[in-house]
Amino acid sequence: MLSVIHQPHELQALLNERKRQGASIGFVPTMGALHDGHASLIEKSWNENDVTVCSIFVNPTQFNNPDDFLHYPKTIEQDTQLLQEAGCDYLFLPTSETMYPTGTPRTRFDFGALETVMEGAFRAGHFNGVGIIVSKLLHLVQPDKAYFGLKDLQQYLVVKQLVADLGFPVQIIGCPIIRDEDGLAMSSRNKRLTATQRAIAPLLYKALQKAESLLATKDFGQIQEEVAALLATEPSFKLEYFEIADGQTLESIKHYSPEKSIALCIAAFLGDVRLIDNILIEK
């Protein structure tokens, strides 16, 4: 039975008691508008831990676009049902006042080169906000394992760096992208797409697949041009970036090496909805 908790001290008391009983804790932090991708994280945690905790908090400090924050989907009734069906034990559902009782945090994180590319380059302050909220949640929940979807690959790598640098005693687990049948990566923002836009959206993944097929045979500059040209066939798409990067550091690479992990990362607007996706080729 899913228990919904709003106050940090209540959650801490419950989890401390479970830990005293020897239970392992799995944690899935989210911003709600849950889908089957989130369900897969909950199910993995359920299989690997005695207790599974999910948080739903639309974190204002990681939005560089106020309109994006205001229009972020909120579907708490459906979310609660999904969590219960997936086996979640506790839902932590705080308010902004609960998480930031003294107002906007003044602490600033510097993730080095990792936050200057891709999402970091186009969303100023985004990863600082991610770092603050993830730190607060990990400190509160103190899980043994925390689960993050690899659709947000850069976020996953930032969180791994945060945990390593600050010494949080938690294992960060990256989980595969879950896709709809037509290839579109599941995302909370997909709920904002019109029917026409939703029919077009799988082109983003097709562009990544095309790039992957060309890696060993074409110059990377040519691949970037072909990806841009493919997206340009649908005027509703506005490409923000497409990068061929090192799969561990996200540093841009210029030449194919079969021995190296490669991340193909893309972001584009479809109307006013911003979509991201990636293909990670691990070695």
Q: Which residue has the tokens 């836009």?
A: 197
Confidence (pTM): 0.96
pLDDT at 87: 97
What CATH superfamily is the domain 188-281?
Pantoate-beta-alanine ligase, C-terminal domain (3.30.1300.10)
pLDDT at 43: 98
Q: Is 62 one of the annotated binding-site residues?
A: yes
Q: Is 42 one of the annotated binding-site residues?
A: no
Per-residue pLDDT reduced to its tens digit, 211-221? 999 999 999 99
pLDDT at 137: 98
Q: Is 186 one of the annotated binding-site residues?
A: yes
By annotation, the residues acting in catalysis are 38
The domain ranges of the chain are 3-175, 188-281
pLDDT-above-70 percentage for the chain: 100
pLDDT at 68: 87
Q: Is 274 one of the annotated binding-site residues?
A: no
pLDDT at 112: 95
Domain 3-175 in CATH 3.40.50.620: yes
- Say whether pLDDT at 71 is over 90: no
CA distance 76 to 257: 45
- DSSP-assigned states of every residue in 247-260: TTT--B--S--TTS
> What's the average model confidence in pLDDT over 152-170?
98
What lies within 8 Å, CB to CB, of 145 at 6+ separation is 24, 25, 26, 27, 45, 48, 49, 170, 171, 172, 173
> Poorest-confidence range of 115-124, 131-140, 177-186, 225-234?
115-124
